[in-house]
Amino acid sequence: MIAIRNRRESRAILALRTAMLSTLGPLKRRLAVLVPSAFMLLVACEQPLEVRPGGRVLQRLSYDRRHLELVYRDTKGAEWDRSDGWLSEDPIGYWYGVHPSGIGNEQVLFLYLGENNLRGGFPASVLQMTKLARLHLDRNRLTGGLPLLGWRNLSDLKELVLDQNQLSGPIPPRFGELASLEKLYVYENNLSGPIPPELGDLTDLIVLSIEENQLSGPIPPELGRLTDLERFLAWENNLIGPIPAELGNLTKLTQLILVDNALTGPIPASLGNLADLELLRLDDNQLSGPIPKELGRLQDLTVLALYWNSLSGSIPRELGNLASLKELLVQGNDLSGPVPPELGELSELTRLSVGWNPGLAGPLPMELTKLRLKLFYWVNTGLCAPGDAAFQAWLATIEDHRGGPTCP
């Protein structure tokens, strides 16, 4: 019996040594042959290997299996909508939502568990998955705060998708240590506190989606360093203070949406530098001062929404240069003067609203009849419609029209 046990143990040791050797470089393999017993002890301390009954050796290139098991435990995995393969001895690539970095490799590259009824706090064990490139835990029922530390471990993370949960507390300043991050989605949570200036260190960031939270304080000017940013979405928060002029450095930006905050001060003229901008929505704030004429340089802009602020001065005639514009919405401000005839050059325009600006005055320009509008609001202004038959016939073609009197 002793001889049989010794043979089994020898086979187990041989299997363990073979598995270890397969992970080593040429120099270490040579050393292993020269001093096998001592080298086995040394390598055994370094390699995450496991010997199962019968001498079966499992080689794990990381401890991600253990961390995945903690994710399952901490987010009530037994109640997930799908948990195929989880907690089995199968390779983790067979576990639902888990994508390892290679065949037979147990380092997690992608973890997709969105809309899967995860419950409880944020599973901090994912911060130990050092090869993680995409983490999607969106549309679940995660609650509580995000870990303040440990994000530096995820230096390869490109996508962090946590939207539509019930997460609360601050955005961790250590998010700024996610050196490879390209997409950050945390919208529709209960996050509060300021936008960390450290997010300005995420120089590869393409999408910053923090809308529909309870974030407060000013927009950090440090965000102006995000020169690869294409979408900055921060509507329905409690942000205050001015729009930083530094946002004019984000020359790849296509969408800037800061709707329904409490932002004050002028619209920076530097936003006219955003040559790729398609959507600019600053409505429902407390912005003041004139509409910058520099916005007339935004040739790709399709929506310009500045309504329900305290903007003053005239409507810049330079807005007539916005060749791609489909919606111009400036109602509910303190604008004054006439409607510039240059707006008649906006051949793509379908929605025009200048209403609720009592200071606007004079006849509507005949040039507007070149537009094929579906919506036109000019109610509660000092404007009037020309009595010309052609102009009146044009008004009659507009589906959604709220206006004022005909000029005497």
407 found inside a domain: no
What pLDDT was estimated at residue 32? 42
What pLDDT was estimated at residue 63? 76
131 found inside a domain: yes
18 and 114 inside one domain: no
pLDDT interval class at 39 (50, 70, 90):
very low
Asked if pLDDT for residue 42 goes beyond 50, the answer is no
For 173-208, how does the pLDDT look when each residue is reduced to its tens digit (9 = 90+)?
999 999 999 999 999 999 999 999 999 999 999 999
Domain boundary among 39, 59, 79: 59
Domain boundary among 10, 42, 59: 59
For 256-268, how does the pLDDT look when each residue is reduced to its tens digit (9 = 90+)?
999 999 999 999 9
Domain boundary among 35, 59, 83: 59
92 and 41 inside one domain: no
pTM attached to this predicted model:
0.85
Alpha carbons 342 and 317: distance in angstroms, whole number: 6
The CATH number for 102's domain is: 3.80.10.10
355 found inside a domain: yes
For the chain, what is the domain count? Answer: 2
12 and 88 inside one domain: no
Percent of the chain with pLDDT strictly greater than 70: 85
Asked if pLDDT for residue 37 goes beyond 50, the answer is no
The residues near 280 (Cβ < 8 Å, ≥ 6 apart) are 256, 271, 274, 295, 298, 301, 303, 304, 305
Q: Show the CA angle centred on residue 159, arms to residues 185 and 163, nearest 5°.
A: 25
What pLDDT was estimated at residue 54? 54
38 found inside a domain: yes
80 and 43 inside one domain: no
Alpha carbons 42 and 137: distance in angstroms, whole number: 39
What pLDDT was estimated at residue 141? 98
Chain center to CA of 23: 39
In the chain the first and final C-alpha atoms are separated, in Å, by: 116
Average pLDDT value over all residues in the chain: 89
What pLDDT was estimated at residue 147? 97
33 and 68 inside one domain: no
99 found inside a domain: yes
309 found inside a domain: yes
53 and 78 inside one domain: no
Alpha carbons 362 and 197: distance in angstroms, whole number: 47
Range of the domain at 284: 64-402
Is there a contact between 121 and 144 (Cβ–Cβ < 8 Å)? Answer: yes
What pLDDT was estimated at residue 41? 34
142 and 44 inside one domain: no
Asked if pLDDT for residue 58 goes beyond 60, the answer is no
What percent of the chain is helix, strand and coil (3-state, nearest 5)? 30, 25, 45
pLDDT interval class at 20 (50, 70, 90):
very low
183 and 209 inside one domain: yes
Task: Give me 322's structure tokens.
Answer: 């916005």
19 found inside a domain: yes
For 124-171, how does the pLDDT look when each residue is reduced to its tens digit (9 = 90+)?
999 999 999 999 999 999 999 999 999 999 999 999 999 999 999 999
14 and 113 inside one domain: no
216 and 294 inside one domain: yes
23 and 73 inside one domain: no
188 and 319 inside one domain: yes
At which residue do the structure tokens 């398609």 appear? Answer: 278
408 found inside a domain: no
